[in-house]
């Protein structure tokens, strides 16, 4: 991140906080409707141990879910690219996975897998499977024809064409899907926790809401935003190192 | 024959039919014609690459003996130049030996690309990329070289130096090249054919014996620009 970008980011956050503070002051909102940024920060520090303990399961779920979706989604895309007949069979499955409303399916996962982490991880995988598989497959099926000519003239096998030509050429598409998925991963965890759980940030938010502890709710939200930032920018950084420069033309 | 009784139909329109192209071994054969006439398709037929439209033809060229270069360089952007030279081996699941590596590097050396060995294609100029493509062609060491307007994206001085280089290094190969530039065709071709008409016909063009004289002044000018 350049200095300019950093300054801009700080300015954005600062402006949002000021707007928030002004909003509360202008409408004379009581603490139980909307706490001020100052109160939120105070709660965040005072309740930090609680919030931190509750974020650990959420963070673990997000990471495992994201990883699972990457593995399953990429495998689907690779299989679809390698076997044409399988593509015709799997494409509807992909679409169905996207059409299923996560909120409606998540309670089912709780019934099937219980209150523990597996149900949350399944929710995240269901949510992220489509963006990863479809964007990667899209990249795999739009390899430049010149590259495929090269493979043909070099007497490449179907498998070497896939791994030495089509996969590297599809990496920018894969990166796009991964970015979308990463931005959605923590939300998947929260949805999973909302429909039934005994720990996690989603559980804390739901609980705080029910008890009218709006300041705790906001402090938990702040933690969620921070986690989302860390996750997204780490991934962005990894992609910039390993994936993107390879394909710069 | 290199291609005999070739026919291409695209969207119910006959692009060409009953086309025959003789096999001039160890010489340069040029096919000259306007765009859209089917030059590239003819070349792709020889290479047995997929073509849009309905086709039928015979060829005496073996696909295993063919190299194919186009104007849009086929260097893979994610590989370094030396890896681009060696990609054919990888694609055929052949082991890359030390001597393969050595040969690739010495070819790049000969083509004045010794500084570019570990660079990515995007870091090279157009002329350098075209030379790297030639290095791969030479590395693959096939007898039939197909060139589909390989110089058309280059500026004139670079083009001129590429002509000399390609002519020199592909001396004993059977080269078939396609171009829309008459001057390029005259300069490079030992045999020339014009592809034109609807459906397109292949007409032999007499290569003038005094073409060097005709082009002398042109060459001089280019040399001056190059200097």
Domain boundaries, chain B: 3-226
Residues of A in contact with B64 (CB under 8 A): 155
Q: Are residues A17 and A70 in the same domain?
A: no
Task: Write down the pLDDT at residue B180.
Answer: 86
- Given a contact cutoff of 8 angstroms between Cβ atoms, the answer to whether B150 and B72 are in contact is no
Q: Are residues A1 and A122 in the same domain?
A: no
| Average pLDDT for chain A | 91
Nearest to B72 among A146, A152, A156 (CB): A146
Is B87 close to A150, i.e. CB distance below 8 A?
yes
Provide the CB-side half-sphere exposure for B197 (13 A, CA): 11
Domain that holds residue A214: 39-247
Residue of chain B with shortest Cα separation from A171: B78
Q: Are residues A129 and A184 in the same domain?
A: yes
Q: Are residues A24 and A76 in the same domain?
A: no
Sign of CA dihedral B49, B51, B54, B58: negative
Per-residue pLDDT of A202-228, as tens digits, reads 999 999 999 989 999 999 999 999 999
Q: What is the mean pLDDT of residues B46-51?
A: 90
pLDDT at residue B212 above 80?
A: no
Q: Are residues A59 and A16 in the same domain?
A: no
Q: Are residues A2 and A46 in the same domain?
A: no
Residue A223 to residue B20: CA distance in whole angstroms: 74
Is A248 close to B140, i.e. CB distance below 8 A?
no
Q: What is the mean pLDDT of residues B92-117?
A: 93
At the second CATH level, the architecture of B3-226 is: 3-Layer(aba) Sandwich (3.40)
Residue B128 to residue B211: CA distance in whole angstroms: 28
- Given a contact cutoff of 8 angstroms between Cβ atoms, the answer to whether B8 and B1 are in contact is no
**Angle separating helix axes A48-82 and A201-210, nearest 10 degrees:** 130
Is A154 close to B92, i.e. CB distance below 8 A?
yes
Q: Are residues A96 and A166 in the same domain?
A: yes
Q: Are residues A1 and A115 in the same domain?
A: no
Residues in contact with B28: Cβ distance below 8 Å, sequence separation at least 6, in sequence order = B167, B170, B175, B176, B177, B188, B189, B190, B191
Where are the strands (E) in chain B, listed by range? 3-10, 13-21, 28-32, 54-58, 66-70, 144-148, 174-179, 191-196, 201-205
Task: Write down the pLDDT at residue A159.
Answer: 95
Q: Are residues A24 and A45 in the same domain?
A: no
Task: Write down the pLDDT at residue B205.
Answer: 81
Q: Are residues A187 and A153 in the same domain?
A: yes
The answer to whether A160 faces chain B, any CB pair under 8 Å, is yes
Q: What is the mean pLDDT of residues B194-221?
A: 74
pLDDT at residue B14 above 70?
A: yes
Q: How far are the Cα atoms of A228, A247, B188 from residue A241, in angstroms, in the given order?
A: 20, 12, 45
Q: Phi and psi at residue B6, in whole multiples of 5°? A: -75, 140
The answer to whether A242 faces chain B, any CB pair under 8 Å, is no
Q: What is the mean pLDDT of residues B17-46?
A: 89
Is A160 close to B92, i.e. CB distance below 8 A?
yes
pLDDT at residue A114 above 70?
A: yes
**Burial class for A234, CB neighbours closer than 10 Å (0-12, 13-18, 19+):** exposed
DSSP assignment of B70-97 equals ESS----TTS-HHHHHHHHHHHTT----
CA distance B217 to chain A (A): 37
Q: Are residues A19 and A100 in the same domain?
A: no
Task: Write down the pLDDT at residue B184.
Answer: 87
- ipTM rounded to 2 decimals: 0.85
Confidence of residue A193 (pLDDT cuts 50, 70, 90): very high
Per-residue pLDDT of A18-75, as tens digits, reads 999 999 999 998 888 899 999 999 999 999 999 999 999 999 999 999 999 999 999 9
Number of domains in chain A: 2
């Amino acid at each position: 991140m350049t200095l300019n970008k950093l300054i801009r980011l700080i300015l954005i956050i600062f402006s949002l906080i000021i707007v928030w503070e002004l909003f509360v002051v202008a409408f004379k909102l009581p603490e139980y409707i909307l706490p001020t940024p100052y109160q939120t920060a105070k709660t965040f520090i005072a309740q930090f141990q609680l919030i931190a303990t509750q974020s650990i399961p959420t963070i673990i779920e997000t990471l495992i879910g994201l990883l699972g979706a990457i593995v399953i989604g990429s495998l689907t895309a690779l299989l679809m690219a390698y076997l044409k007949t399988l593509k015709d069979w799997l494409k509807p499955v992909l679409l169905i996975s996207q059409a299923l409303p996560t909120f409606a399916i998540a309670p089912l996962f709780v019934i099937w897998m219980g209150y523990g982490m597996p149900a949350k991880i399944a929710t995240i995988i269901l949510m992220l499977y489509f963006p990863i598989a479809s964007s990667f497959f899209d990249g795999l099926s739009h390899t430049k024809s010149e590259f495929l000519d090269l493979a043909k003239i070099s007497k490449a096998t179907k498998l070497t064409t896939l791994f030495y030509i089509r996969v590297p050429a599809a990496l920018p598409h894969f990166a796009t899907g991964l970015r979308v998925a990463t931005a959605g991963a923590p939300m998947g965890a929260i949805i999973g926790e909302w429909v039934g759980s005994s720990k996690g940030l989603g559980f804390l938010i739901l609980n705080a809401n029910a008890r009218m502890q709006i300041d705790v709710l906001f402090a938990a939200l702040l933690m969620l935003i921070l986690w989302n930032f860390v996750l997204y920018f780490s991934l962005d950084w990894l992609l910039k190192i390993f994936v993107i420069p390879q394909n710069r033309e | 024959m290199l291609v005999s009784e070739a026919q291409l139909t695209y969207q119910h329109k006959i692009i060409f039919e009953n086309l025959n192209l003789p096999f001039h071994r160890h010489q340069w054969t040029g096919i000259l014609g306007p765009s859209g006439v089917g030059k590239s398709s003819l070349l792709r037929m020889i290479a047995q690459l997929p073509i849009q439209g309905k086709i039928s033809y015979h060829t005496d060229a073996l696909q295993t003996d063919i190299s194919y270069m186009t104007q849009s360089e086929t260097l893979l952007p994610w590989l370094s130049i030396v890896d681009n030279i060696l990609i054919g081996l990888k694609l055929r699941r052949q082991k890359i030996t030390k001597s393969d590596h050595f040969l690739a590097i010495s070819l790049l050396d000969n083509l004045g690309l010794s500084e570019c060995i570990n660079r990515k294609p995007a870091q090279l100029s157009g002329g350098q990329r075209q030379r790297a493509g030639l290095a791969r062609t030479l590395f693959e060491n096939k007898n039939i070289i197909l060139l589909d307007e390989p110089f058309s994206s280059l500026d004139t001085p670079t083009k001129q130096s590429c002509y000399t280089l390609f002519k020199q290094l592909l001396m004993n190969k059977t080269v078939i090249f396609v171009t829309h530039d008459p001057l390029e065709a005259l300069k490079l071709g030992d045999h020339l054919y014009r592809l034109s008409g609807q459906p397109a016909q292949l007409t032999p063009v007499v290569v003038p014996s005094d073409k060097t004289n005709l082009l002398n002044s042109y060459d001089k000018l280019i040399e001056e620009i190059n200097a």
